[in-house]
A and B are shown apart, each in its own frame.
Chain A
Amino acid sequence: MATTAAAQTFPQLLLEHAARRPDAPALREKEYGIWQTLSWAQLAALVRELAHGLADAGLSRGQHLVVVGENRPRLYAAMLAAQSLGAIPVPLYQDAVAAEFAYPLNNAEVAFAVVEDQEQVDKLLEIREQCPRLGHIWFDDARGLRNYRETGLASLDELRERGLRHAQQHQGFFEAQVQAGRPEDVAAMFFTSGTTGNPKGVVHTHATLIDRARAGMRFDKLSEREEVLAYLPPAWIGQNIFSYAQWLACGYVVNCPESASTVSIDMKEIGPTYYFAPPRVFEGLLTSVMIRMEDAGAFKRWLFGRCMTLARRVGPALMDGQAVGALDRFKYALGNVLIYGPLRNTLGLSRVRVAYTAGEAIGPDLFSFYRSIGINLKQLYGSTETAVFVCLQPDHEAKADTVGVPIEGVEIKLADNGEILVRSPGLLKGYYKNEAATAEVLTADGWYHTGDAGFIDAGGHLKIIDRAKDVGRLRGGVFDGAMFAPKYVENKLKFFSHIKEAVAFGDQRDRVCAFINIDFEAVGNWAERRNLPYAGYTDLAGKPEVYELIRDCVEKVNADLAQDERLAGSQITRFLVLHKELDADDGELTRTRKVRRGAIAEKYGVLIEALYAGRSSQFIETAVKFEDGRTGSVSADLKIVDVRVFPAVKRAA
């Protein structure tokens, strides 16, 4: 199956595939409505020509080559060509604006760039004055560039021709260059999109990336027969691992969609067997299915409803390899023919053997929906700095609230503040030209500080609860000294469709209390179905029935939290439902809809005081900004209610 240990760099892996199975497909791209295949031998020839061309243009060992564009075979070939020469490809996000390219280009002293099309060429030309070193730009798609006469601008076709000429004069140059590559050479650099300050270039070697790619391969028994759809930005290390590092390590086929808007169509045609998507993509897919189901006829809706009820009950157990009664098995098989199979096909997931999601917390309902219809959806944990693979969920142990077990080569330990430290052969070499930042995250004995707080649960799975800096401690009370992870609690609450936002308090206090924001649409709908009249948001939020509804949700969260003794202290003892929606215009949320804890605590100080003072109601008047800029005020007498708290379930030793 996989490649031998002799090949230790990406170009060496490429040449091995090309020698061993020259006619097997390596890349496919849909162009002019037809999937065009590039075999390993053709790819190797292309890489050779490009490498000769780049060498002729002056690219040499240790220099950087910027690559900007969607997933395109020739851009992948350019990265391989650079690596063949010992140069370092630096993929950048194709949707970034021109100004954002300036810093990485200057930071990495970039003189060469290979880009996809006119859009990217225009961006680079725009910042050329700020980046005087940038001498050469090659483009893949010549459309619209016919009349450009900038110096140093040429098409990849011209680069190939240049390479052919160079190759005739320098026989054996390419092969010698590839052989000279060492695993400890730098293979690629990924800029992390820092929310504050300048982005940092994460440096990875061939050894780190290939080691993690192979570890992931062995974990999921990936073979050269996998099909992968490359549709996320190549500058993101996840896409790079799935469609570059593992592609070369395993030798499977990577498929490039026709355009960003055709991904769902292309996915149906390819039927990937190994698939990655962030939770929001899975959510989008589910929403589109549900919307179409709403439009279906009554019989179909009934059948779908029946089958999904069965799937929710039986499906996850089947996926986890647990015992299921014969009758249920039969019913599930019937449902598979009628609903689950066609549904998987519509989603383009009918051939998926292994699907991963990561990046943010995934709702348990969303997660189990995919598992219940027979898709092996799992979670993983990793980051740019760890070359992705740290923890993965084994096939029969997928859970919505963990991120899996540490895989081969990975050691995990917890710092005193609960921060997860990782040691593995896949850790970054360092941040480029930023020793201070490197020293901050990488200790002398090789531990990487993830910045995430979490712990290993009873089943040996890693559980991420929050960013380490947000985790607090309870002081006094029943759970004195217990860890308090606000975001973990808030996320659990927000997974209920009736709850839109939640803000939990508890750091340096004796117990946890919370503000809840109802989801106006979901709760409004719920109220209408029960013939519960209401006058508006504030009125609805204050209804005793709504309080009961929310109390139910909170109790479920508490019961869940009590399952783990470390999180039992984070159970919510009292809550209130806010009279207005938290809004970015009022400074309560960030523009990306993250709760601004500090601002809220300040603004609603009286409410927090009332929660902890044990009062049963509190009057509040709040100024609000309307969308047209006017201001007004909302006032209400908010009820505060107590919730049942469960004793912590002790871990069976």
Chain B
Amino acid sequence: MAEKKIGEVILDVKNISLSFGGVKALTDISFNVREHEIRAIIGPNGAGKSSMLNCINGVYQPQQGEITFRGQHFKHMNSRQVAEMGVARTFQNLALFKGMSVLDNIMTGRNLHMKSNLFLQALRWGPAEREETAQREKVERIIDFLEIQAYRKTPVGRLPYGLQKRVDLGRALAMEPQVLLLDEPMAGMNVEEKQDMCRFILDVNDEFGTTIVLIEHDMGVVMDISDRVVVLDYGKKIGDGAPDEVRQNEDVIRAYLGTSH
């Protein structure tokens, strides 16, 4: 297989600090993400991985530091504005609409691309109907891509966990994001489901050129699929680099394996 092309820095995180009252979740974190790469954030429980993702996502507003996306600063942006800029995410504890079908769940991911007003959408009339047809086509391509055709009309709540995770990924993909944030995409999966998910992540990166930032517990998985890895521990960055470099890093080994005192 040929080498893939990794581009310029697309997302730059500089000196981020975040605290909740007296609890320091993140202290002075800096790293960047290049276009088309798969960037992993790893660390033990409570290291601040999800907080970091929530900062990028606009859910949390860090007290210090700044995040630059394609040269644009976003210090005071809410999550909708971040989404409109082309950043999508999935959730660690699935946040799907359990009673709705797979198709409808993924359709919700197209919402930002729907231009007709709510009233016309409700009536499904005129431009709204044409628009829905066009959006549906995009969604069908995602369903095909993720190989979930057999469950198109199945309510999400009736699907096994691994498939729900795939639907969650599908909804994020439906936004056609430039950057995709994945919050523990493989948590709670069995080996086979993990392998499937890895393949889908690599395929998304390969097919659509989507830049991927993922948080993961499973070291093995991360080392296999990511281009560069950031390691956090107690809200501090303790390592950054290619998987092989990180694996040799003394601090990382200590954080993961513990030390004998």
The interface bits of chain B over 120-139 (1 if a CB of A lies within 8 angstroms of the residue's CB, else 0) are 00000000000000001100
- Judged by a CB distance under 8 angstroms, whether A530 is at the interface is no
Interface residues as binary, A193-207 with B (CB distance below 8 Å gives 1, 0 otherwise): 000000000000000
Q: Is the CB of A32 within 8 A of B137?
A: yes
Contact A33–B140 (Cβ < 8 Å):
yes
Residue pair A147, B2 in contact (C-beta under 8 Å): yes
Asked whether, in the complex, the Cβ of A148 is within 8 Å of the Cβ of B1, the reply is yes
- Minimum CB distance partner of A33 in chain B: B140
Output the nearest chain B residue to A122 by Cβ-Cβ distance.
B1
The reply on B250 being an interface residue by CB < 8 A is no
Q: Which residue of B lies closest to A30 (CB)?
A: B149
User: Is B207 a contact partner of A261 (Cβ separation < 8 A)?
Assistant: no
A1-45 interface with B by 8 A CB criterion: 31-34
Bound complex: CA A262 to CA B149 (Å): 7
**A147 in contact with B4 (CB, 8 Å):** yes
A143 touches B150 (CB 8 A): no
* A507 is an interface residue with CB less than 8 A from chain B: no
- A33-B143, A147-B2, A149-B2 as given contacts; A259 in contact with B203, CB under 8 Å: no
Q: Bound state CA distance, A147 and B6, in angstroms? A: 13
B207 touches A31 (CB 8 A): no
Main secondary structure of the interface of A (DSSP, over half): loop
Residues of chain B lying within 8 A (CB to CB) of residue A143? 145, 203, 207
Q: Are B207 and A33 in contact (CB under 8 A)?
A: no
Give the most central of B4, B144, B152: most A CB within 10 Å. Answer: B144
Q: Find chain B residues with CB under 8 A from A259 CB.
A: 147, 149-150
Residue A292 lies at the interface, judged by CB distance under 8 Å to chain B: no
Distance to closest chain A CB from B253 (angstroms)? 33
Q: For B140, B144, B150, which residue has the most chain A Cβ atoms within 10 angstroms? A: B150
Size class of the A contact interface (CB-based, 8 Å): 10 to 19
Determine the chain A residues whose CB is within 8 A of the CB of B147 once the complex forms.
259, 261
B73 in contact (CB, < 8 A): no
**CB pair B1 A147 closer than 8 Å:** yes
Q: Is the CB of A634 closer than 8 A to any CB of chain B?
A: no
The answer to whether the Cβ of B218 comes within 8 Å of any Cβ in the partner chain is no
Residues from chain B with Cβ under 8 Å of A262 in the complex: 149-150
Tell me, rounded to whole Å, the shortest Cβ–Cβ distance linking B59 to chain A. 33
State A144–B208 Cα separation when bound (angstroms). 10
Min CB–CB distance A147 → chain B (angstroms): 4
In the complex formed, the residue of A with least CB distance to B209 is: A146
Proximity string of chain B (92-113) to chain A, C-beta cutoff 8 Å, 1 when within and 0 when not: 0000000000000000000000
Interchain CB contact under 8 A, A33 and B149:
yes
Which residue of B has the minimal Cβ distance to A142? B207
Q: In the complex, are the beta carbons of A32 and B141 less than 8 A apart?
A: yes
Residues of A close to B207: CB separation below 8 A? 143-144, 146
Query: Contacts of A116 on B, CB cut-off 8 Å?
Result: none
A227 lies within 8 A of chain B by Cβ = no
The docked-state distance in angstroms from the alpha carbon of A183 to that of B191 is 53
Chain A contacts with B in 248-269, Cβ cutoff 8 A = 258-259, 261-262, 265
Q: Which of B1, B145, B149 is close to A261, meaning CB atoms less than 8 Å apart?
A: B149
Contact A265 B206 (CB under 8 A): no
A32 and B140 contact, CB distance less than 8 A: yes
| Across-interface contacts of B136 in A (CB, < 8 A) | 33
Q: Please, which residues of chain B bring their CB within 8 A of the CB of A144?
A: 203, 206-207
Q: Known contacts A143-B207, A146-B207; is A265 also within 8 Å of B150 by CB?
A: yes
| Chain A proximity of B145: nearest CB distance (Å) | 7
Contacts of B4 in A (CB 8 A): 147
Chain B residues contacting A146 (CB-CB under 8 Å) are 206-207
B residues in contact with A258, CB < 8 Å: 149-150
Instruction: Please report the C-alpha to C-alpha distance between residue A32 and residue B135 in the assembled complex, in whole angstroms.
Output: 12
Contact with B along A577-595 (1 / 0, CB 8 A): 0000000000000000000
Q: How far is the CA of A259 from the CA of B146 in the complex (A)?
A: 12
Query: Given the complex, which residues of A lie within 8 Å of B150, measured CB to CB?
Result: 258-259, 261-262, 265
Proximity string of chain B (132-170) to chain A, C-beta cutoff 8 Å, 1 when within and 0 when not: 000011001101110101101000000000000000000
- Chain B contact residues: helix, strand, loop or mixed: helix
A421 CB, nearest partner CB in chain B, Å: 45
Measured CA separation A147–B2 after assembly (Å): 5
B2 touches A31 (CB 8 A): no
Which residues of A lie under 8 Å from residue B145 when comparing CB positions? 143
**Cα-based distance from A261 to B137 in the complex (angstroms):** 21
- Give Cα A32–Cα B145 distance, bound, in whole angstroms: 10
Q: Tell me the minimal C-beta distance from A150 to chain B in angstroms.
A: 9
Nearest CB to that of A264 among chain B residues?
Answer: B150
A76-89 CB mask vs B (1 if < 8 Å, else 0) is: 00000000000000
A148 adjacent to B149 (CB under 8 Å) = no
B71 to A: closest C-beta gap in Å: 28
A121-164 residues at the B interface, CB under 8 angstroms: 143-144, 146-149
Q: Take A147-B206, A262-B150 as given contacts and tell me if A31 and B144 are in contact as well, using a CB distance cutoff of 8 Å.
A: yes
1/0 contact string of B199-224 vs chain A (CB within 8 Å): 00001001100000000000000000
Closest Cβ of chain A to B107, distance in Å, is 12
- A148 to chain B: closest CB distance in Å? 6
Q: Which residues of B sit under 8 angstroms from A33, Cβ to Cβ?
A: 136, 140, 143, 149, 152
> Which single residue of chain A is at the shortest CB-CB distance from B3?
A147
- Shortest Cβ distance from residue B28 to the other chain A in the assembled complex, whole angstroms: 38
CA distance A262 to B152 in the complex (A): 10
Shortest Cβ distance from A284 into chain B, in angstroms?
Answer: 15
**How far, in Å, is B205 (CB) from chain A's closest CB?**
11
**Chain A residues whose C-beta falls within 8 Å of the C-beta of B152 in the assembled complex:** 33
Interface residues of A in 146-190 (CB under 8 A from B): 146-149
B-chain residues with CB within 8 Å of residue A32 when the two chains form the complex: 137, 140-141, 143-144
Shortest Cβ distance from B175 into chain A, in angstroms? 19
- Once the chains are docked, how many angstroms separate the CA of A265 from the CA of B150? 8
A144–chain B nearest beta-carbon distance, Å: 6
Report how far A258 CA is from B147 CA in the complex, Å. Answer: 10
CA distance A233 to B74 in the complex (A): 54
Question: In the assembled complex, which residues on chain B have CB atoms less than 8 Å from the CB atom of A34?
Answer: 140
**Smallest CB-CB A-B distances: 5 pairs:** A32-B140, A261-B150, A147-B2, A262-B150, A258-B149
Could you tell me which B residues sit within 8 Å of A by CB distance? 1-4, 136-137, 140-141, 143-145, 147, 149-150, 152, 203, 206-207
A–B pairs, 24, beta carbons within 8 Å: A31-B144, A32-B137, A32-B140, A32-B144, A33-B136, A33-B143, A34-B140, A143-B145, A143-B207, A144-B203, A144-B206, A144-B207, A146-B206, A146-B207, A147-B1, A147-B3, A148-B1, A148-B2, A149-B2, A258-B149, A259-B150, A261-B147, A262-B150, A265-B150
Given A143-B207, A261-B147, 16 more pairs with CB closer than 8 A: A31-B144, A32-B137, A32-B140, A32-B141, A32-B143, A32-B144, A33-B136, A33-B152, A144-B203, A144-B206, A146-B207, A147-B4, A148-B1, A148-B2, A258-B150, A265-B150
